[in-house]
Amino acid sequence: MLDIPLWKRISIWALCALGLWLALPNAFYTTVERHNDAVIEIEATGVTPELQADVDAWPSYMPNALVNLGLDLRGGVHLLAEVQVEDTYATRVDGMWTTVRNILREERATIGGVRQLDAAPGFLKLRIANVEAMPRALELLRTLAQPVQTLAGVGEMDLVFASDGDVISMTLSDAEKAAMDERTMVQTLEIVRRRVDEVGTREPTIQRQGTQRVLIQVPGLGSAEELKGLLGQTAKLEFRPVVRRTNDPAVAPGPGNEIMPSVDEPGQYYIVEKGAVVGGEDLVDAQPTTDQNGGQAVSFRFNISGAQKFGDYTADNIGSPFAIVLDGEVISAPTIQSHIAGGSGIITGRFSIEETIKLSALLRAGALPAELTFEEERTIGPELGQDSIEAGRIACIVAFAAVLIFMVLSYGTFGFFANIALVINVGLIFGLLSAIGATLTLPGIAGIVLTIGMAVDANVLIFERIREELKAKRGPARAIELGYEKALSAIIDANITTFLTAVILFVMGSGPVKGFAITLGLGIITSVFTAIFVTRLVVVIWFERKRPKEIEV
Amino acid sequence: MRLKLVPTETNFDFFSRGALSGGFSVLMMAASVALFFMMGLNFGIDFRGGTTFRTNADNAVVVADYREALAPLGLGDTSIVIVQDPLKPENNVTQIRIEAQDAAVASETTQNVLAALKAVDETVRFEAVESVGPKVSGELVQTAVLAVVAAIAAVLFYIWLRFEWQFALGAVAALVHDVVITIGAFALLQIKFDLAIIAALLTIVGYSLNDTVVVFDRVRENLRKYKTRALQEVLNLSINETLSRTVMTSVTTLIALISLFVLGGDVIRGFVFAMIMGVVIGTYSSVFVASAILNRLGVKRDWSKEAANRASGQYADIDA
């Protein structure tokens, strides 16, 4: 009647043991954390006696996965940045002017002269002299367009041309924009990762969210300023030809040019060409240094193609000035004295030492393809996090003890059995959380406390049923069996509905709320498991030993 | 000797004062809706955008001094509240909220606020700074509303699948009842309403259901057992039979929640408060709202052989 086959018994105990085994490292949190850190450190830098001691403090045959603590518990910075993907369209289109001009120039005889006109960002407009040659001009330009590589494989072209009288306007197709957004995001994630690494903190989380957002979480950072300083700058370095200098910021720069302020000389502006000679993407190294006068400077080195382009340009333009542009501002505009071969040089300006260190770090990490704006920022001090952990721990222990006592008072021996299951239940939750690498947040702790309260529900349902069956004058064994059998449908229905809400919370929630959904969901699974299998097994073992003629629940 | 919160045998009539409990529920819901529109909810920055600073200092805080210090910064609507915690009576901690500034998240503002407060009290430090831009807060509102609606819809569907549609309507009415009254309590007490509270509301949805489903499960069983008894009698019997369990589970959950409310720190106190409210109201509503509505709607009692077979077949599937 109350038979549970041996294999079932063994599997139940084995599952419990496995869960508790996985939960064990959390009981020695700091030791295991230092062990894990030391293992990583040794791999990176080699062994020192202190590191080896940290490693040896936790046996290597033991599991070492811990529950991650969320930012609200550990302290740190959470930033949600939006990538201004549209920025890249204008850069791309502006950069094509030279190619467009060259291809049309080859048939100057039929098309006539070509002039660039002012256009909205993301558009290139030009006027051709011979209107009759418009079809030929468009035909030539269409050879520039490439099919867009998309997953859907639809062969749409990347450029769209339109003509109106003698004016041609060129822009990017929607498919190309989508593909570029994708590339921009991938690039941005990579560069954000490299820059965050410069801060040198452990385990930062850098995640893409939605189509154009990046979530950055850096534990252990006390202030968001440093991080925002590092991420808030695009650090786009370019070398551009200078058209002329001016003092009037309102002057019309002319088509294909733009006006930029000077960093060091207030009131001084430069009109520079939109297309860059060389850009930051060709940089391979940047270091803080000093110039011949002892001023702070940043040295840089180009890769081969950058060095080639820079060399050719300087050779052709000796005597004319070029501008070193950083994020839309002219840092300096030296005159080219001679052909600069070898592709290295220094940038001078009125830098402080800190600025040169930061600038060279940013240049090394690479420019962001588009600007980041911050939509959400949360900084939690480590002190507050520690307080929350402490308060959560005490609340958990008190809740736990109170529920244990209450259960024994209400159900006697059976209450004690339910308590065994409850202890195993909490252990299993921690084991599962560690195993899947979930993050424990403050609402997550609330989820565990709630689970402690609700986990007994399934047992309560069963015990109440057994009481009813006993009242109906059934024998002990039969009452226990019927109690489990009849309570099952209520347990399943009640828990599935709660589980549904946990799933919805998980899908729709973010950050701490997600943490709550995880502990609530896992808690439901483990509490149903412990109630249906573990307490039942305990009750059966007890019954087999004692063979009571009468039971009181 | 056992601790018994509910006598072994109870025989309460839960419907004799149906008008009273029904009237009470309707009144509470109407009051909640009125409070919601009159006082509004004290939305946190998650939903309205803006920045909050949690400050801590070595000395007790005088709110007026802080207010005076921040006034010249021209931050617009500013609220300064001392964080009350019975375990920390020193009143050193405040929560300052400023409305959304022009830029999504401005660094200078943080520096300026800190500098202004340091002029009042040198020991002031920020324990937490949270800032949400208007774009994100709009989306958060949308997702939150969607989450609650999705949860209720999912539940409605599940119960309709497992029981009859009358049960589903009763359960969902109870849910809406619980959520509305909890929101009313938040409007009345002006407790900060943020993302975590939405999580709490959804948990209430889950808990209230849990309770309702247990009662309904017994109703379904008793309807099959006593085919000739009146529906109201069967409902009464079922509620009485499950009463001990309903009270036990509510009490254990409340024990856990109250310890968290008292000891868990002020950061999650609002969150826990919502859940405590939900457990109390959810227990009440599964008896007085869900079952009452089921009683009103009536259930198909004509358990012809075919229907019974189908029903027990369904039941057996789950048991297996």
Q: Do A383 and B127 touch (CB under 8 A)?
A: yes
Residue of A nearest to B221 (CA): A486
**Given this model, what pLDDT does residue B104 score?**
53
Give the span between the Cα atoms of B316 and A413, in whole angstroms: 31
Question: Considering only CB atoms, which chain A residues are within 8 Å of B150?
Answer: 504, 508
**Given this model, what pLDDT does residue A202 score?**
65
Give the mutation candidate from B202, B211, B240 for the A interface (greatest A CB count, under 10 A). B202
Count of C-beta atoms within a 10 Å radius of residue A449 = 29
Decide if pLDDT at B107 tops 70: no
How many residues does the structure list for chain B? 320
Nearest to A392 by CA among A516, A222, A218: A516
Spell out the CATH class of A87-178. Answer: alpha beta
**Given this model, what pLDDT does residue B31 score?**
95
Q: How confident is the model at residue B1 (pLDDT cuts 50, 70, 90)?
A: low
- Measured between CB atoms, does B112 come within 8 Å of chain A? no
SS (H, E, C) B37-49: HHCCCEECHHHHC
Question: Span A10-25, mean pLDDT?
Answer: 92
Looking only at the bridges linking them, the beta strands covering A439-440 and A68-69 are parallel
Helix (H, G, I), strand (E, B) or coil at A341: coil
**Given this model, what pLDDT does residue B180 score?**
93
* Chain A with chain B: Cβ pairs closer than 8 A: 231
Nearest to B260 among A449, A460, A489 (CB): A449
Decide if pLDDT at B306 tops 50: no
Residue of A nearest to B56 (CA): A384
- Measured between CB atoms, does A485 come within 8 Å of chain B? yes
Q: Do B107 and A402 touch (CB under 8 A)?
A: no
Residue of A nearest to B146 (CA): A508
Angle at A465 between CA B237 and CA A419, to 5 degrees: 135
Residue of B nearest to A411 (CA): B2
| C-beta separation of A227 from A79 below 8 A | yes
End-to-end CA distance of chain B: 37
Q: Do B128 and A388 touch (CB under 8 A)?
A: no
Name the one residue in this structure whose structure tokens are 């007994």. Answer: A456
Q: Do A489 and B268 touch (CB under 8 A)?
A: no
Question: Span A246-259, mean pLDDT?
Answer: 83
Nearest to A388 among B136, B159, B267 (CB): B267
Is the ipTM higher than 0.85? The answer is no
Give the span between the Cα atoms of B272 and A402, in whole angstroms: 17
- Measured between CB atoms, does B93 come within 8 Å of chain A? no
Nearest to A410 among B3, B130, B257 (CB): B3
Report the helix count and the strand count for chain B, using DSSP H and E.
11, 6
Residue of A nearest to B149 (CA): A504
- Cα B137 to Cα A83, A116, A515, B107, B143: the distances in Å are 17, 43, 20, 19, 10
**Given this model, what pLDDT does residue B319 score?**
41
Residue of A nearest to B318 (CA): A489
Give the span between the Cα atoms of B31 and B33, in whole angstroms: 5
Find how far residue A464's CA is from the centre of its chain. 49
pLDDT digits (tens, 9 = 90+) for A178-214: 888 888 999 899 888 888 887 666 678 898 988 889 9
**Given this model, what pLDDT does residue A200 score?**
67
Give the span between the Cα atoms of B217 and A271, in whole angstroms: 79
Task: Quote the minimal CA–CA distance from B121 to chain A in Å.
Answer: 19
pLDDT digits (tens, 9 = 90+) for A67-87: 888 888 888 899 999 998 888
Helix (H, G, I), strand (E, B) or coil at B83: coil
Architecture of the domain spanning A6-25+381-546: Up-down Bundle (1.20)
Give the span between the Cα atoms of A551 and A411, in whole angstroms: 11
pLDDT digits (tens, 9 = 90+) for A150-175: 666 667 788 888 888 889 899 998 88
Q: Do A380 and B127 touch (CB under 8 A)?
A: yes
| C-beta separation of A367 from A328 below 8 A | no
- Measured between CB atoms, does A208 come within 8 Å of chain B? no
- Which residues have C-beta within 8 Å of that of residue B115, sequence separation ≥ 6? none
Q: How confident is the model at residue B239 (pLDDT cuts 50, 70, 90)?
A: very high
Structural domains of chain B, ranges and CATH numbers in brackets: 18-42+136-307 (1.20.1640.10), 50-132 (3.30.70.260)
- Measured between CB atoms, does B133 come within 8 Å of chain A? yes
- Measured between CB atoms, does A443 come within 8 Å of chain B? yes
In which order are the strands placed within the sheet that holds A167-172? A114-117, A124-128, A167-172, A159-164
Asked if domains A6-25+381-546 and A237-351 share a fold, the reply is no
Nearest to B260 among A224, A395, A406 (CB): A395
Decide if pLDDT at A390 tops 60: yes
Name the one residue in this structure whose structure tokens are 């709320």. Answer: A513
Range with lowest mean pLDDT among A301-310, B179-188, B254-263: A301-310
- Measured between CB atoms, does A389 come within 8 Å of chain B? no
Q: How confident is the model at residue B302 (pLDDT cuts 50, 70, 90)?
A: low
Decide if pLDDT at A16 tops 90: yes
In A117-263, where does DSSP find H-type helix? 134-142, 174-199, 224-231
- Quick one: A45 exposed, middle or buried, by C-beta within 10 A (0-12, 13-18, 19+)? exposed
Q: Do A498 and B206 touch (CB under 8 A)?
A: yes
Nearest to B150 among A391, A449, A504 (CB): A504
Give the span between the Cα atoms of B282 and B204, in whole angstroms: 7
DSSP letter (8 states) at residue A535: I
Q: Do A392 and B264 touch (CB under 8 A)?
A: yes
**Given this model, what pLDDT does residue A185 score?**
92
- Measured between CB atoms, does A453 come within 8 Å of chain B? yes
Q: Which pTM does this prediction carry?
A: 0.77
Residue of B nearest to A466 (CA): B245
| C-beta separation of A100 from A141 below 8 A | yes
DSSP letter (8 states) at residue A216: E
**Given this model, what pLDDT does residue A154 score?**
63
Q: Do A449 and B110 touch (CB under 8 A)?
A: no
Whether domain A237-351 has CATH 3.30.700.30: no
Decide if pLDDT at B66 tops 80: yes
**Given this model, what pLDDT does residue A194 score?**
83
Q: Do B217 and A442 touch (CB under 8 A)?
A: no
**Given this model, what pLDDT does residue B303 score?**
52
**Given this model, what pLDDT does residue A213 score?**
92
**Given this model, what pLDDT does residue B316 score?**
43
**Given this model, what pLDDT does residue A350 score?**
78
Question: Considering only CB atoms, which chain A residues are within 8 Å of B214?
Answer: 461, 490, 493-494
Question: Span A300-308, mean pLDDT?
Answer: 86
Q: Do B254 and A453 touch (CB under 8 A)?
A: yes
**Given this model, what pLDDT does residue B177 score?**
93
Decide if pLDDT at A55 tops 70: yes
Task: Quote the minimal CA–CA distance from B128 to chain A in Å.
Answer: 4
Range with lowest mean pLDDT among A232-236, A399-403, A465-469, B93-97: A232-236
Count of C-beta atoms within a 10 Å radius of residue B142 = 10
- Measured between CB atoms, does B125 come within 8 Å of chain A? yes
DSSP letter (8 states) at residue A262: B
Give the span between the Cα atoms of B194 and B271, in whole angstroms: 9
In chain A, where are the structural domains located?
6-25+381-546, 87-178, 237-351
Residue of A nearest to B172 (CA): A497
Q: What percent of chain A has pLDDT over 90?
A: 12
Q: Do A378 and B267 touch (CB under 8 A)?
A: no
Range among A10-24, A238-252, A439-453, B103-117 with highest mean pLDDT value = A10-24
**Given this model, what pLDDT does residue A431 score?**
93
pLDDT digits (tens, 9 = 90+) for B129-181: 988 888 888 888 888 888 888 888 888 888 888 888 899 999 989 989 999 99
Q: How confident is the model at residue A119 (pLDDT cuts 50, 70, 90)?
A: confident
Nearest to A117 by CA among A72, A48, A164: A164
What residue type is A86 in one-letter code? E
Q: How confident is the model at residue A136 (pLDDT cuts 50, 70, 90)?
A: confident
Residue of A nearest to B5 (CA): A410
Q: How confident is the model at residue A511 (pLDDT cuts 50, 70, 90)?
A: low
Task: Quote the minimal CA–CA distance from A347 to chain B in Å.
Answer: 28
Decide if pLDDT at A146 tops 80: yes
- Measured between CB atoms, does A312 come within 8 Å of chain B? no
Nearest to A387 among B206, B241, B265 (CB): B265
Question: Considering only CB atoms, which chain B residues are within 8 Å of A377?
Answer: 105, 129-132
Decide if pLDDT at A309 tops 90: no
Angle between helices A512-529 and B195-225 (to 10 degrees): 30
- Measured between CB atoms, does B34 come within 8 Å of chain A? no
- Measured between CB atoms, does B158 come within 8 Å of chain A? yes
Q: Do B159 and A379 touch (CB under 8 A)?
A: no
Chain mean pLDDT for chain B: 84
Q: Tokens for A47? A: 């062994």
Q: Do A494 and B268 touch (CB under 8 A)?
A: no
| C-beta separation of A379 from A338 below 8 A | no
Q: Tokens for A85? A: 């993907």
- Quick one: A3 exposed, middle or buried, by C-beta within 10 A (0-12, 13-18, 19+)? exposed
Backbone angles phi, psi at B92, to 5 degrees: -95, -15
pLDDT digits (tens, 9 = 90+) for A472-484: 888 888 999 999 9
Question: Considering only CB atoms, which chain A residues are within 8 Å of B199?
Answer: 443, 505, 509, 513, 516-517
Nearest to A236 by CA among A353, A367, A84, A68: A367
Decide if pLDDT at A101 tops 80: yes
**Given this model, what pLDDT does residue A321 score?**
86
pLDDT digits (tens, 9 = 90+) for A261-283: 888 788 889 998 887 888 777 88
